[in-house]
């Protein structure tokens, strides 16, 4: 293995990327109901298609890196994750302090985060832990 053949995880954007659509509220409201529905459904479908595509292709790409390029898969060290978290908090706070709309968005985001966190513990995390108990994950460190 050559120096630099490492893949560190998780990506800082995980658990997944999302697309964003910004539409003028008045322009959307001016559309007939059927066209408003088309815009909404198309935006949701595009985001879902993108996430499905990323999941499939990123899984294939990771397999190629590990199999064909002898890449070592490593978790980001806790001290690196801590610094990333601390610095992201500084950056978010700077945005909040500089822009009332950013403050409004952040408040909404953090409120949602707190409301769904417990559910994620008993859904996604519990499912993955249960699955791994009966179907142990592949070891990438062997």
CA distance 44 to 41: 5
Q: What is the mean pLDDT of residues 87-103?
A: 97
Task: Output 20 or 78, whichever has higher pLDDT.
Answer: 78
Residues 6+ away with beta carbon under 8 Å from 140: 66, 72, 73
The answer to whether 109 and 96 have CB atoms below 8 angstroms apart is: no
Would the pLDDT of 13 be above 80? no
pLDDT at 1: 47
Task: Output 11 or 80, whichever has higher pLDDT.
Answer: 80
How much is the mean pLDDT over the chain? 89
Would the pLDDT of 140 be above 90? no
The answer to whether 51 and 16 have CB atoms below 8 angstroms apart is: yes
pLDDT at 16: 66
Cis geometry, peptide bond prior to residue 24 (ω within 30 degrees of 0): no
């Amino acid at each position: 293995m050559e120096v630099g053949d490492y893949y560190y995880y998780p990506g800082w954007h995980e658990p997944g990327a999302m697309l964003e659509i910004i539409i003028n509220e008045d322009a959307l409201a001016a559309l007939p109901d059927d066209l408003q529905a088309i815009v909404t459904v198309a935006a949701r479908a595009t985001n879902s298609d993108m996430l499905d595509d990323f999941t499939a292709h990123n899984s294939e790409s990771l397999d190629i890196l590990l199999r064909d390029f002898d890449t070592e898969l490593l978790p980001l060290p806790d001290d690196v994750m801590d610094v990333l978290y601390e610095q992201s908090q500084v950056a978010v706070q700077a945005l909040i302090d500089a822009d009332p709309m950013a403050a409004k968005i952040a408040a909404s985001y953090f409120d949602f985060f707190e409301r769904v966190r417990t559910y994620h513990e008993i859904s996604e995390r519990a499912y993955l832990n249960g699955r791994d108990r009966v179907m142990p994950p592949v070891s990438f460190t062997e």
